[in-house]
Amino acid sequence: MSEILEVLTKGTLIVTGRLIDASNATLLAECSYEDIKVKCIYKPIAGERPLWDFPDGNLASREFAAFLISKHAGFNVVPLTILREGPFGFGMVQEWINIDTSVDLASFFSSDDARLRKMALFDAVINNTDRKIGHLLPHVDGIVYGCDHGVTFHQENKLRTVLWQWAGSAISENEEETLLSLLSEIKSNRIDNLSELITESEMRALILRIEDLLTTKSFPLPSQEWPAIPWPAF
């Protein structure tokens, strides 16, 4: 990861295409440094569409905050992500993940797979409002990554996901230890720049969500006040 991080941080970023189905500017790019080239996704802040329910901050910062939470908690479900300048201004740059095409996402997403359970707990922590089937990225090495974490960390509970198969299930001892360790990291300000990426109220809500998970010792249940599954689901 250190080599890829160096390339993404120091390399020359060249846009090669665009994902036309994305609602915000999501650009395919290649980052070159010395003799190494890394394929990546580049989301410039200038290409973001304003969202009425996320009036503060920007999506790129939330993407990076999600990566930091994933990394520090040991979830490791978010591809390497940084913030940097690019051809269309400052934004998020994320390592491209080559997915395992042998995995049928249409059936895999609803399975009782431990990798998806880890993703579900991660989503509960970051309050992901848009975990779609197509945001699951099974890698050929067996890891399941997730992408598109721009609409996260809202101060209100807005969890919307296709991963509800553990709703109400008890959190394991290992998961509890993960949450306790993450909570300690956050409260002691050991996650660099996190407080600069999300608002103060969102930071307080993040802490409260983790504390609530530790108190209930169970995965959250779907809300009865709004649709619990994003649309479209894929």
What are the mean pLDDT values of the chain's consecutive 10-residue runs (234 residues total)?
91 92 87 96 92 85 98 97 97 96 95 98 98 96 96 96 98 98 95 94 97 98 90 90
Whole-number pLDDT of residue 182: 98
Residue 222 lies in a domain: no
Residue 232 lies in a domain: no
Retrieve residue 234's tokens: 């894929």
- Total domains present in the chain: 1
Q: pTM of the predicted model, to two decimals?
A: 0.96
Output the DSSP codes for 133-171: GGGEEEBTTS-EEE---SS---SS----BS--TTTTPBP
Residue 24 lies in a domain: yes
The DSSP code for 55 is -
Residue 121 lies in a domain: yes
Residue 227 lies in a domain: no
Residue 189 lies in a domain: yes
Whole-number pLDDT of residue 1: 62
Tokens 């996260």 found at: 152
The residue segments making up the domain with residue 52 are 2-216
**Rounded CA gap, 223 and 160, in Å?**
9
Residue 125 lies in a domain: yes
> Quick count: other Cβ atoms within 10 Å of Cβ 53?
9
The DSSP code for 177 is H
**Rounded CA gap, 103 and 55, in Å?**
37
Residue pair 57/66 in contact by the 8 Å Cβ criterion: no
Residue ranges in the chain assigned as alpha helix (H): 2-10, 59-73, 105-108, 114-126, 173-187, 194-197, 200-216
Whole-number pLDDT of residue 50: 80
Residue 224 lies in a domain: no
